[in-house]
Structure 1
Amino acid sequence: MANILILALLFLIICLLLTAFKRAKGRQLRPTPSPPGFPIIGNLHQLGELPHQSLWKLSKKYGPVMLLNLGKVPTVILSSSETAKQALRDHDLNCCSRPSLAGGRELSYNNRDISFSPYNDYWKELRKLCTQELFSAKNIHSTQPIKDEEVKKLIDSIAESASLKTPINLNKKFLALTVSIVCRTAFGVSFEGTVLSSDRFNKIVREAVDMLGSFSATDFIPYIGWIIDRFTGLQGRREKSVRDLDAFYEQVIDLHKEEKEVGSEDFVDLLLRLEKEETVVGNNKFTRNNIKAILMDILLAGIETSAETMTWAMAELAKNPRVLMKVQSEIRNIFGNRELISFEDIEQLHYLKMVIKETWRLHPPAPLLLPREVMSEFEINGCTMQPKTQIHVNVWAIGRDPNTWKDPEEFLPERFIDSNIDTKGQNFELLPFGGGRRMCPAMYMGTTMVEFGLANLLYHFDWKLPEGMKVEDIDMDEAPGLTVNKKNDLVLVPEKYLDN
């Protein structure tokens, strides 16, 4: 009897080992396509100055699921709407954490913000707090008078240039607009007339975004990566960026030192009250560094991305006069003689909304979504995603996929006529704000700011190229970074419409 039990047990063990061997062998027969790399650096040399473009070119050879070894870090690049859907919807919970990267870690006070925090109770509670208290539709509507004031100031400023037929730098105008709106609506303070309303503050913001998007050897090359970052000067730049931003946060907090009643608080007042009451968020007390990390998210995400979208939209319109004339005709035919297009009016501007969608298709604010980190094993297109693997969704490549978009390089807003595709994260062909649990919570705030700003500038002014410049001379080159700016500033000549 004992011998029979031993034989049965041995048979069971052999069967289990054979099954495990077959599974392992099956996985080995379906490796994730991967370009060859070098020892130590792996595929780092293939990223280039604009990684989203380099990865797009590689995906044409290796497919929509591609494995790169970036130094020590296994990294999967997804370059189609179908593979993005599998990661962001079907397996969202398996890969919704974040890797700890040097730039994000240092600028967010050890990943205490929404964008760079790993997936845990702290992140869940923080996202809920920001969604309810700052990014809700109710709050965004309540701050509309501030946006009205700032857009009116912008119109008056451009009108002065129009009367002199002076070219204006739209990159700077849009950045100044978003700085003013975000600082007043989110931080409750105005920096008009101070050093922070100057180009210096804009440079601080741009430098911080560059630091978040810069390649850091520390993240990919063990033992010597930090030496490389010191030698190249990246670590020094990063430390200076942290100091500059920290000084700004302290100024914002100083302006909120006077206590207010619970009903008349702005968002920063609320955060300061949580700190004072030693509120527990996740498993830790809410501190001054938590406040600063949240302010970083609002500052960098809210300011840069909206300004960039408006700049790219105007560049595409200047390059496509037919579309410019059509969108201006829509606005002017509906509203006639107006001092300001109101927030409520925007819902009638269907073609303008198509123009903005088409801008996001070709120029998504973040061409590569912030990396996700796999927490538990799953498969995409039959390829196994192992824990600790980083996943990047190449939104820039998805927007140019000929299997999804006809004539993908052409700026054609009409492609969205009778289309149900929106930007809310459920249509994976168009992901300007990401998707799944890590989708940008400020989507509504950013969308309304872009729509409102563009509607008014397109209504009040005709836009001409500087003397001697042709449509073909407008370049669409990109600058490197976490978000993608237009490399060369967009300079156009405004003419007042109502004067004409």
Structure 2
Amino acid sequence: MHLKFGSYPVLVASSSEIAKEFLKSHDQVFASRPLTAAGKYINYNYSDMGFAPYGPHWHQGRRVFMNELFSAKRMESFEYIRVEEMRASVSRLYELSGKPVVLVEQLTRLTLGIISRMVLGNNCFDVSGADRAVSNSTVSVEELQEIIKEFFILNGVFNIGDWIPWLDFLDLQGYDLIGGGTDTSAITMEWAISELIKRPQLLTQATKELDRVIGRGRWVEEKDIPQLLYIDAIIKETMRKHPVAPLLAPHLAMEDCKVAGYDIPKGTRVFVKTWSIGRDPSLWKQAEEFLPERFLGRNIDVKGTNFELLPFGAGRRMCPGYNLGLKMIQLNLANLLHGFNWKLPDDTKAEDLSMEETYGMTTPRKFPLVAIMEPRLPLHLYKI
């Protein structure tokens, strides 16, 4: 699809074939990012890895990311953090057993705890009120969630000055501040559990696999994940039907080129629409249905090699933290399903559960999931 946003030509890739052209065949040409107001003011003058233009700064930043945070050795060395935060999370949820819980709040707390400890060396917000009183540098869970929520909103907002440069001085943008969860891993897990609660037979199938592979005497460990084929299928199906980014971050043509027989001028901005690819009926039978079994026996991964499923993008600008995000989702979703029976509050029927999404830079649920959990493992396992 060819559009004109103000003075800039824009292309939207809504098929896996065209996405492959931009992200693989012509990856180097489209490896840069357009300069936007969000990139300048929210991301330290385009210094953020996601919004930095292609060049030496981006290359150096990516090397630091891959070597210091996301290498296989580093990921292994941080496993204890992921395990400890998972155990702390299930312990908190156990204390809330039998009560309605806004799930995304707990999931965001979990994922931010992991990232905070990896990057800053400690869980900088998950402390008691007394400890906060003597620490000016610590923020609450709620404060940090609001900061991240605003970050995603401001990065995804339409700013007229990004498209019509001579109107850049105007503050004409208006945006919908409706949004639930903001952390991408938390959003994916919330959608997965929503789909399973709505379809109890799928939840039963998942727990049967967990009981068969893990038993009821311990928690799921990362080494168990390759054996949990149905859990893996649930995650892939969630990423297909509910991609956390309905549009990948925009790419910028650095030179004139020809794609699929069309001449693409330098400066064209390209969006890959993962939401449409994930619902393409030519790729997916019953595309509107949540069917994890479609991935059983199929060699489709989420790491940028299969262009029908691109939750983390592909090519040079693929999300450098995909491995961490995937590990967090796999371990924590598996243990949430292993550790608890899930149901909706008494006044909500499964068939009435809203599956509306908020469309923006991310796609959280329009109405956050409220669920009730009951422990399904021996009670001593919930103690830390």
Q: Same fold (TM over 0.5)?
A: yes
1:202 aligns with one of 117, 132, 145: 145
Q: Does 1:177 align with 2:120?
A: no
Task: Note if contact 1:217-1:226 (Cα within 8 Å) is conserved in structure 2.
Answer: no
Structure ID, larger Rg: 1
Corresponding residue for residue 355 of structure 1: 234
Q: Does 1:90 align with 2:33?
A: no
Instruction: Tell me how far apart the structure 2 counterparts of residues 151 and 477 of structure 1 sit (CA, whole Å).
Output: 28
Instruction: Tell me how far apart the structure 1 counterparts of residues 330 and 43 of structure 2 sit (CA, whole Å).
Output: 29
Instruction: From the two aligned structures, give the one with the greater helix fraction.
Output: 1
Amino acid at match of 1:411: F
Instruction: Tell me how far apart the structure 1 counterparts of residues 71 and 140 of structure 2 sit (CA, whole Å).
Output: 27
Instruction: Tell me how far apart the structure 1 counterparts of residues 198 and 150 of structure 2 sit (CA, whole Å).
Output: 29
Q: Deviations over 1:388-408 (max 9, x none)?
A: 010000011000001111110
Deviation (angstroms), 1:232 = 5.3
Deviation (angstroms), 1:446 = 0.4
Instruction: Tell me how far apart the structure 2 counterparts of residues 71 and 386 of structure 1 sit (CA, whole Å).
Output: 16
Deviation (angstroms), 1:228 = 3.0
Task: Note if contact 2:253-2:266 (Cα within 8 Å) is conserved in structure 1.
Answer: yes
Deviation (angstroms), 1:121 = 1.8
Give the ranges of 4+ consecutive aligned residues of structure 1 lying more than 6 Å apart after TM superposition: none
Instruction: Tell me how far apart the structure 2 counterparts of residues 392 and 445 of structure 1 sit (CA, whole Å).
Output: 24
Q: Secondary structure at the match of 2:362?
A: coil
Q: Does 1:416 align with 2:349?
A: no
Corresponding residue for residue 472 of structure 1: 351
Instruction: Tell me how far apart the structure 1 counterparts of residues 219 and 297 of structure 2 sit (CA, whole Å).
Output: 29
If asked which structure has higher relative contact order (CA below 8 Å, sep 6+), I would say: 2
Instruction: Tell me how far apart the structure 2 counterparts of residues 334 and 449 of structure 1 sit (CA, whole Å).
Output: 20
Q: Does 1:437 align with 2:370?
A: no
Q: Secondary structure at the match of 1:361?
A: helix
For 1:244-259, what aligned pairs fall within 5 Å after superposition?
Answer: none
1:402 aligns with one of 276, 281, 292: 281
Calculate the TM-score normalised by the size of structure 1: 0.71
Q: Does 1:187 align with 2:120?
A: yes
Instruction: Tell me how far apart the structure 2 counterparts of residues 310 and 338 of structure 1 sit (CA, whole Å).
Output: 24
Task: Note if contact 1:111-1:118 (Cα within 8 Å) is conserved in structure 2.
Answer: yes
Amino acid at match of 1:372: H
Gaps (5+ residues) in structure 2?
133-137, 380-384
Would you say how many aligned residue pairs link Structure 1 and Structure 2? 365
Q: Cα distance 1:200–1:404, how it changes in 2: closer, same or farther (>3 A)?
A: same
Instruction: Tell me how far apart the structure 2 counterparts of residues 375 and 221 of structure 1 sit (CA, whole Å).
Output: 19
Q: Cα distance 1:417–1:232, how it changes in 2: closer, same or farther (>3 A)?
A: closer
Corresponding residue for residue 43 of structure 1: none
Task: Note if contact 2:217-2:378 (Cα within 8 Å) is conserved in structure 1.
Answer: no
Instruction: Tell me how far apart the structure 1 counterparts of residues 206 and 159 of structure 2 sit (CA, whole Å).
Output: 42
Q: Secondary structure at the match of 2:169?
A: helix
2:99 aligns with one of 156, 162, 166: 166
Instruction: Tell me how far apart the structure 1 counterparts of residues 230 and 175 of structure 2 sit (CA, whole Å).
Output: 46
Amino acid at match of 1:482: M
1:154 aligns with one of 50, 72, 89: 89
- Single out whichever of 398-407 and 151-160 deviates more from structure 2: 151-160
Calculate the TM-score normalised by the size of structure 2: 0.91
Corresponding residue for residue 126 of structure 1: 61
Deviation (angstroms), 1:380 = 2.6
Deviation (angstroms), 1:154 = 1.1
Instruction: Tell me how far apart the structure 1 counterparts of residues 321 and 87 of structure 2 sit (CA, whole Å).
Output: 23
Amino acid at match of 2:347: G
Corresponding residue for residue 263 of structure 2: 384
Gaps (5+ residues) in structure 1?
1-65, 238-302
Corresponding residue for residue 321 of structure 1: 200
